[in-house]
Amino acid sequence: MGVDVETVLVESSTDQRDRLLSGNVDVGVTAMDNLLVWNADGGDLRIVAQVESTTPLELVARPSVTGVQGLRGAVLGVDAVNNGFAVVLRYLLTRRGLSAADYTLLPVGGVRERWEALRAGSIDATLLGPPLDEQATGEGFVSLASVQAEVPDFPGQGVVAGPGVLKAHGDGLLRYLAALEAARQWLCDASHGQVMDLMAKGGHGPASARAALRTRPESLVPARAGLERILSMRDGLGLLPQPVPGAGDLYADGPLGVELRP
């Protein structure tokens, strides 16, 4: 049995949260860190699947920036200041010796909005993923650091469900997850050429296809280690919400019927 899916493009994680909580959308694909802030603010959202092993992100800056140290005094574009990819960005900068006082985080929206802001010169650097990171470096912007290289256990994006969907116990979510699992299995079994051809038919370029191959998940079930990595990064940055959730508090195992992987 198949499932009909309507895709809704959102401008920011805040927009996504509001749609999930209001029931405007049933599920969303998002950075799993977002749940920590969303639920601390009164949401009741849960991860129901993980769709990539990690999120391939590059810290990309304007051409004149020669290294991470060159970001002192810079304006960095983010989706939101205290959640999502802003947390791993802060973590990378802290590891390189920059404190929060050394730069300014400017909320400008999702990845396309951040790329447009970087091109327009209204920000100095931001995190970009495929294919925009390769497009940026092709246009002369510079990559300063790779999240995948520096935080290999950083979790990929998750499928998040709102409280209405989880409480309804309908079969729509189950059919959607079954379709995702079929797609995951195909992606793992298909040849490189088959994946490239299918992605091209869907309007995705080679960079996106290569990223899909690199981040194929071994399971839709999220890894506990990835969720604990998010919590540990936040702890080190002093950004843990209160009360502090555990990894298991972020995941609803009912839809997949499986507990978190190690």
Task: Render each residue's pLDDT in the chain as its tens digit; 262 residues.
Answer: 678 999 999 988 999 999 999 999 999 999 999 999 999 988 899 999 999 999 999 999 999 999 999 999 999 999 999 999 999 999 999 999 999 999 999 999 999 999 999 999 999 999 999 989 999 999 999 999 999 999 999 999 999 999 899 988 779 999 999 999 999 999 999 999 999 999 999 888 888 888 889 999 999 999 999 999 999 999 999 999 999 999 999 999 999 999 999 9
CATH number of the structural domain spanning residue 77: 3.40.190.10
Domain contains 255: no
Domain contains 117: yes
Query: What Å distances lie between residue 79 and 88, 109, 117, 190, CA to CA?
Result: 12, 4, 12, 34
Q: Are residues 145 and 129 in the same domain?
A: yes
Domain contains 223: yes
- Whole-prediction pTM: 0.91
Domain contains 113: yes
Domain that holds residue 74: 58-150
